[in-house]
């Protein structure tokens, strides 16, 4: 399987979700310059999505209309769980993507963000059959899916859909053993089924470009000239079975930095791996809410509060002092999943009676309410 989909390519991919902007609009001129730098360095993989506002149109202008079609690989995604009431609505996303990119076909097409209730939407609309049809027609070269959930659910999907040629996973050194993300376990499931892995969020939405000070000190001491982001991206690229690592570059400076260490990347040496392990150990020393996202608390909460999602957001704030990212996570993991905010807690204590980690949930929710809500 790996030989059929993981064509020989350099391991850095250009993630197009966070393109540079002028005001509210994508900066096409700067995007063109970044595309040129990327292509000139020998990189070829571009990743967009129907759901990335303006991204598909921008890459049409910056890439598709300026380079021979066979000179690059373009990936986009179908988010059937966003405002689709019928199968036809979901298929229309594909037609929109073709029109917006002008690409003619997609080298890699992904069912976007499988996991939890979203997985069922693709099943209900029989989208797996449809993407296979598109592949047989040559409109899609390779089909796969991106995934945000548990390793157990990932294994269920891979068992049910051997036609998936690859899987896109969130992998970075901070989330490697994170109970909420379970990067390592998901990666190991993909390897078990011999699926090439595309890595998303290797810098965790930019947070690992400015990690906690103890981590930064370790990495700077090891190599004063290396950027913080370089350690994160190379950690992911070093893993066996990784086809490409996506970096959501937002300016020319980030592009220059990524090219500098990925143009001739091979593997990390043993000393570099030890340094990253040391950084991970330092991260683990930072006192966090020890939530394992078992969600037993959710089953007994009379107010339907998004307890584990609130704690994930709070841990992000503690680790990275990044309120915007914490609020974003809370918005997705709490409101985005139909849950109530921490501020709605009535302090009944039912949750604490079932928590296997013996967390003082009421106290922690009050902290979330005060700092994030």
pLDDT of residue 205: 85
Judgement on whether residues 225 and 302 belong to the same structural domain of the protein:
no
Structure-block tokens of residue 62: 């910056």
Assess if residue 290 is contained within a domain.
no
Among 204, 357, 360, CA closest to 292: 357
pLDDT of residue 15: 97
Check which CATH number belongs to the domain holding 142 and give it.
3.20.20.100
Judgement on whether residues 262 and 303 belong to the same structural domain of the protein:
no
pTM of the model: 0.89
Assess if residue 284 is contained within a domain.
no
Contact 7, 107 (CB under 8 A): no
Judgement on whether residues 22 and 79 belong to the same structural domain of the protein:
yes
pLDDT of residue 6: 58
DSSP 152-209: HHHHHHHHH-TT--EEEEE--TTTTT-TTT-HHHHHHHHHHTT--EEEE-TTTTTGGG
* Residue 213 Cα to chain centre, angstroms: 24
Kindly report, residue by residue over 22-70, the tens digit of the pLDDT: 998 999 999 999 999 999 999 999 999 999 999 999 999 999 999 999 9
Judgement on whether residues 250 and 338 belong to the same structural domain of the protein:
no
Judgement on whether residues 208 and 94 belong to the same structural domain of the protein:
yes
Assess if residue 111 is contained within a domain.
yes
Judgement on whether residues 348 and 274 belong to the same structural domain of the protein:
no
Assess if residue 30 is contained within a domain.
yes
Judgement on whether residues 7 and 151 belong to the same structural domain of the protein:
yes
- What's the number of domains the chain is made of? 2
Per-residue pLDDT of the chain (373 residues; tens, 9 = 90+): 334 665 678 999 999 999 999 998 999 999 999 999 999 999 999 999 999 999 999 999 999 999 999 999 999 999 999 999 999 999 999 999 999 999 999 999 999 999 988 999 999 999 999 999 999 999 999 999 999 999 999 999 999 999 999 999 999 999 999 888 999 999 999 999 999 999 999 999 888 999 999 999 999 999 999 999 999 999 999 999 999 999 999 999 999 999 999 999 999 999 999 999 999 999 999 999 989 888 989 999 999 999 999 999 999 999 999 999 999 999 999 999 999 999 999 999 999 999 888 999 999 999 999 999 8
Judgement on whether residues 300 and 239 belong to the same structural domain of the protein:
no
Domain boundary among 221, 245, 279: 279
- Measure the CA–CA gap between 19 and 74, rounded to whole angstroms: 16
SS3 373: coil
Rounded to 10 deg, the angle between the 117-124 and 127-136 helix axes is: 60
Full domain range(s) for residue 351:
296-371
Judgement on whether residues 265 and 308 belong to the same structural domain of the protein:
no
Domain boundary among 279, 306, 337: 279
pLDDT of residue 290: 86
Assess if residue 288 is contained within a domain.
no
Judgement on whether residues 235 and 300 belong to the same structural domain of the protein:
no
- Measure the CA–CA gap between 48 and 81, rounded to whole angstroms: 17
Judgement on whether residues 158 and 190 belong to the same structural domain of the protein:
yes
Contact 197, 168 (CB under 8 A): yes
Judgement on whether residues 140 and 78 belong to the same structural domain of the protein:
yes
Domain boundary among 231, 248, 279: 279
Contact 143, 164 (CB under 8 A): yes
């Amino acid at each position: 399987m790996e030989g059929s989909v993981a064509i020989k390519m350099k391991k850095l991919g250009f993630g197009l979700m966070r393109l540079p902007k002028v005001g509210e609009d994508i900066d096409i001129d700067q995007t063109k310059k970044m595309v040129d730098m990327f292509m000139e360095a020998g990189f070829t993989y571009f990743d967009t999505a129907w759901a990335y506002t303006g991204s598909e149109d921008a890459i049409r202008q910056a890439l598709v209309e300026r380079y021979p079609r066979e000179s690059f690989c373009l990936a986009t995604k179908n988010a059937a769980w966003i405002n689709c009431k019928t199968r036809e609505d979901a298929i229309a996303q594909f037609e929109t993507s073709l029109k917006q990119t002008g690409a003619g076909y997609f080298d890699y097409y992904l069912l976007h963000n499988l996991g939890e209730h979203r997985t069922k939407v693709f099943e209900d609309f029989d989208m797996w059959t449809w993407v296979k049809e598109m592949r047989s027609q040559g409109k899609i070269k390779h089909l796969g899916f991106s995934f945000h959930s548990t390793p157990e659910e990932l294994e269920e999907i891979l068992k049910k859909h051997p036609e998936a040629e690859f899987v896109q996973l969130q992998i970075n050194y901070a989330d490697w053993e994170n109970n909420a993300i379970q990067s390592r376990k998901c990666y190991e499931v993909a390897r078990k089924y011999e699926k090439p892995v595309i890595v998303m969020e290797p810098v965790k939405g930019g947070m690992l470009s400015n990690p906690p000070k103890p981590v930064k000190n370790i990495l700077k001491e090891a190599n004063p000239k290396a950027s913080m982001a370089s350690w994160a991206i190379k950690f992911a690229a070093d893993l066996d079975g990784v086809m490409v690592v996506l970096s959501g570059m937002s300016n020319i400076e980030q592009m220059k930095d990524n090219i500098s260490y990925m143009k001739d990347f091979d593997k990390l040496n043993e000393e570099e791996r030890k340094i990253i392990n040391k950084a991970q150990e330092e991260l683990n020393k930072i006192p966090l809410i020890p939530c394992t996202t078992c969600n037993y608390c959710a089953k007994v909460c009379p107010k339907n509060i998004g307890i584990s999602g609130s704690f994930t957001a709070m841990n992000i704030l503690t680790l990275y002092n990044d309120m915007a990212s914490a609020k974003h996570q809370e918005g997705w993991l709490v409101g985005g999943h139909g849950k109530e905010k921490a501020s709605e807690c009535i302090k009944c204590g039912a949750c604490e009676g079932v928590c296997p980690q013996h967390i003082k949930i009421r106290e922690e929710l009050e902290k979330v309410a005060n700092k994030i809500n």
